Chain A
């Protein structure tokens, strides 16, 4: 690891510390209460889960706008399965699988049609949202209460909720895959320069489809966490959350030009957005202030990144 990649990561982490300190001063010391930190971890989990998958897509030079809709579809599928009497684990698996299948469709369309991912996933964003509404017959699906609803519940003794542990485990796994497998090196190669990757015999189509499948599955997992929180299957949930997910990756140092991004950065990026959200509401700031601050952070993060990249190019 070179000094600069350390600095890259430290840069995002420093941003998180800075934002946390500002809200700590505004809200007071109770902001850093273990209970409050636990609350924020739970708040982050949904966006962060999907952002882990999105990081892989963005490193590969793509984008996935359909994740918000997949989250909704996943909650609907889980609720429907539970209502049909399926075991909670099976219902959860069905939700994740549905997400993964949506991802495979995205991947096949991107590679097969040779249409840019932005357009393909803009289409599937509407398509999946419509499918979710169709399955749910435009209603919220009530489901029996199971242990799935406890995934994001605060646990006694301030130990993190199971859903957050799941997130941490999977984030570590994906970070490992990106760094220590042939697939991971190929993802970086495709995102860095697809022509070089093709020349070097990287299996472009297969890798791209797997990349989108990962993003879909992680959106399905985010849907599982969302279901845990709202306890119903809701086809209108997660509207616009794809932008939060993308923002987390970008704040975390991912580049929409591909070839760059880290899981650690993404997790920190998601955390920064949550700190702003929770901090603002606890300070009693209006939601418009929140939005302005989040927007400014995104622009500043990208601008700092450009300056850093500019220096490197000299």
Chain B
């Protein structure tokens, strides 16, 4: 495709690349080629396979099937170092400098000029200075410690490191997500200059305005497949957004009649997040937004896991609960997006994980009867169809989907009125997903006694549209006003999330 569009011979070419993780197909025969002197934007929803594809190109992962060529020669890097030697470097979202080393040490890490077996510091300094100079960034001192630099400067150092070892293919993963507008502008200038020097650049981004401003061409991935692409300049944002979301929403999402009751959660001007909203009994309120848009931060602030800078939260009759403990007491439960790191305690048993927030029913005066605790756990295990050998089994031995169900069952055991769910279905199998959607529906339905309220954050638009009654969009750390009385289309949401509606 690249050949037809640019007429140039591709610098690199990936053909029908396939990659699976366990039962999950991350990439299902994806092809991509980019020519020298071209910037190609790779876009798609979270989990579409962008990062996996680029990790394969950069040697961090190996493809199960498919072929790659670099400048016409077969190319199959077994490690990131392998790829760097061949001339392919990836700049990750989380910068990977050695924070305590100086700028020049970082730039020439692993490629230090030697003299009689010891590092030749003067030549090293010279080389580092030259590398930064070529990028038009003489302003970064080569002796500075990397940690002390701004994120933007650190990024420049990373790029300089890639170029110092002769990279010709540069992959940038969400490079502007941590930059301000001015820094982003300077980065674009630099990338254009590198393009003029004949480098092939892949630019992964969620922000469609970046794509239009910078890229020559865009390529859309969706569910691990190529979903279209074309010249960036003539493309309309609406078309790109449509390619990103265009999938049917099946009967995954049941909807029993619900109606909104009294206000359970009242949030006014909460910072960080600029959030003002009300959550009522019997409704599911969704927050859409891309990764890094501040959704998770907002939820964590709401649940008192991070400090409140301004604003007011009222939960039932409780004014501004200040600790997670107070939140649980007031009837609000939280499901973390970070299942392994926070959601479940891996070495703790299923029954402990499930009942940790409310041990009171298992004994009086601080005592806990393990037998009664286990009985209760067995009840939830059966009700949510959790696969485990017995309730004393350590949570780590369970699959991701089952771990997630335990974390969710914790909120049910606690009998929380307000359920705050951050990415409840990320990385779990479709069967568990469907069960979780069904569960959310029964919680807010009229038949529930009493109906609960659910606050749901998700990156997965069909999920939000299928489950929620109202949706607000977060973008660059600020929450917009939810559309009243109707659900936006996936298309509208994607435009709002990516800022495409401002063009």
- Which A residues contact B (CB, under 8 angstroms)? 1-2, 5, 179-186, 188-189, 192-193, 195-203, 257, 259-260, 312-313
Contact = CB atoms under 8 A, between A and B. Distances in A.
Contact of A196 (B344, B360, B396): B344
Given A182-B367, A198-B305, A259-B348, 13 more contacts: A2-B390, A2-B393, A181-B368, A182-B368, A185-B356, A186-B356, A195-B338, A196-B342, A196-B343, A196-B353, A201-B329, A202-B356, A260-B347
Contacts of B20: none
A213 to B, nearest CB: 16
B480 interface: no
Interface string B308-344: 0000000000000001111111000010101001111
A201 B345 contact: no
B355 to A, nearest CB: 8
Contacts of A181: 366-368
Contacts of B70: none
Contact of A201 (B323, B338, B344, B370): B323
Interface residues of B, number: 40
Nearest to A193: B345
B357 interface: yes
Contacts, number: 90
Contact of B357 (A1, A200, A257, A313): A200
B325 A201 contact: yes
Contact of B352 (A1, A183, A189): A189
A185 B352 contact: yes
B410 interface: yes
Interface of B: 303, 305, 323-329, 334, 336, 338, 341-348, 352-353, 356-357, 359-360, 363, 366-370, 389-390, 392-394, 396-397, 410
Contacts of A1: 392
B377 to A, nearest CB: 13
Given A2-B390, A200-B356, A192 B347 contact: yes
A192 B410 CA distance: 17
Contacts of A199: 303, 305, 324, 334, 336, 342-343
A198 B324 contact: yes
A207 to B, nearest CB: 11
Given A181-B366, A200-B324, A201-B357, A192 B346 contact: yes
A186 B368 CA distance: 11
Nearest to A192: B345
Contacts of B410: 200
A259 B359 contact: no
B369 A180 contact: yes
Contact of A259 (B305, B327, B338, B347): B347
A180 B368 CA distance: 5
Nearest to A191: B347
A199 B410 CA distance: 11
Given A188-B348, A203-B325, A197 B392 contact: no
Contact of B348 (A183, A193, A203, A312): A193
9 contacts: A2-B390, A5-B392, A180-B370, A182-B366, A184-B368, A196-B343, A196-B345, A199-B305, A199-B336
Contacts of B394: 312
A4 to B, nearest CB: 9
Contacts of B342: 193, 195-196, 199
Contacts of A195: 338, 341-342
A182 B373 CA distance: 11
B345 A197 contact: yes
Contacts of B396: 313
Contacts of A201: 323-329, 357
Contacts of A259: 345, 347-348
A1 B370 CA distance: 10
Contacts of A188: 348, 352
B367 A197 contact: no
A225 B336 CA distance: 48
B328 A200 contact: yes
A226 to B, nearest CB: 32
* Shortest beta-carbon contacts, A-B, top 8: A201-B325, A193-B345, A192-B345, A259-B347, A196-B345, A195-B342, A201-B328, A192-B348
A304 to B, nearest CB: 17
A189 B347 contact: no
Nearest to A184: B368
B309 to A, nearest CB: 20
Contacts of B327: 201
Contacts of B356: 185-186, 189, 196-197, 200, 202
Contacts of B359: 182, 185
